[in-house]
Amino acid sequence: MLSNSVCFSQSNSEPSIKGKLHIDSRWKPVVYLSYIPTFKDMSKMSSQMIIAEAKVDSLGYFSFPVNQLPKSDRLYRIHISKKKAPPASLIIGGEEENHIFFIANPNVNIYISNTDSLGIFNKHKIQGYLPNNDLSSINKIIENRKTESSTDSRIKREFLEKNINSKLRRIADTSSHPIVSLYALNQSNFESTFLENQKFYKNYLKKWKNEDSLYFTEFRTKLPTEENTYIYKFLLIALGFFSLGFIINYLIVPRKKHKQNRILTSLSIQERKIFALLQDGKSNKEISEELNIGISTVKSHISSIYNKLNVKSRKDILNLHL
């Protein structure tokens, strides 16, 4: 693992990932650099993912050499950890979110800075490599999703979500940078919107057919195949029929049952117990013994049950489905 600490100016021409951070006493003065091989690894953290670390000096400066990075663009994460927390600790969401993502390669100069020590990366800049400007724009769009109010109507939330996904697909379609493009699409809930945008995804795969990075390999495995598309359509149709049947069963069939349930509530607690035992086929004697009441009392309750349920025999009781 690499380690480096140096005070420098932003104009330093030597390729590096460097910056200046305002941090308070809650945080260790160390910045960790992790390689993110696929988008599903963005929310993961382990000590094996950390490829370098750099001390933050008394003025807030840190620097990573980039000569050991893979030659082509990759996605990376820097993070800091709280004191007494392990180096591989990730805080997702909230004011104390302790990490940011960016794109880098061995030939770039990237400068990272923040303006607020309370929320380390709430207000930050990533300068020096243009694809990271596009990542920031995508993240701002995603932030709109987080600010949706739970008090908004379902229709409004669905409209906002659809609008956000549409913007992200548009960025994915127009971006010339493969990671930026796929990052936008990965944030657009593409798996749930695939069926209604099949033509878009077909053209998208054609556009990036020569991309063989792990990012695109992961993406292609998540998209349904043409065969699976037909299966999904069939399942959607089947689900529609099932839902229709459920609605019919809920609205029409239960009417008689609801009426019977209202009748059943007219029985006293003791009568309900006896009614359940009658449906189990118990005799008067068995009911008497189980409830510890006299047979004459059992007969009296049964007579009352018959009157309230408008039945004439035990056979009628057995045929009732309440």
The closest of 152, 145, 148, 202 to 168, measured between CA atoms, is 145
Residue 71 C-alpha from the chain's centroid: 33
Strands 109-114 and 16-20: parallel
For domain 254-319, say whether CATH 1.10.10.10 is its number: yes
pLDDT by residue for the chain (322 residues), tens only, comes to 444 444 444 445 789 999 999 999 999 999 999 999 999 999 999 999 999 999 999 999 999 999 889 999 999 999 999 999 999 999 988 888 999 999 999 999 999 999 877 778 888 999 999 999 999 999 988 887 766 655 667 888 888 888 899 999 999 999 999 999 999 999 988 888 888 888 899 999 999 999 999 999 999 988 876 545 555 555 566 666 666 666 665 555 555 555 555 566 778 888 888 888 888 888 999 988 888 899 888 898 888 888 888 888 888 888 775 5
The predicted pLDDT at position 6 comes to: 43
* Half-sphere CA count of 136, side-chain side, radius 13 A: 13
DSSP tag of 148: -
pTM metric for this prediction: 0.66
The closest of 36, 22, 184, 168 to 103, measured between CA atoms, is 36
Residue 22 C-alpha from the chain's centroid: 31
54 dihedral zone (left: phi>0; alpha: psi -120 to 50; beta): beta
What is the CATH architecture of 2-129?
Answer: Sandwich (2.60)
Break the chain into its structural domains and give their ranges. 2-129, 146-248, 254-319
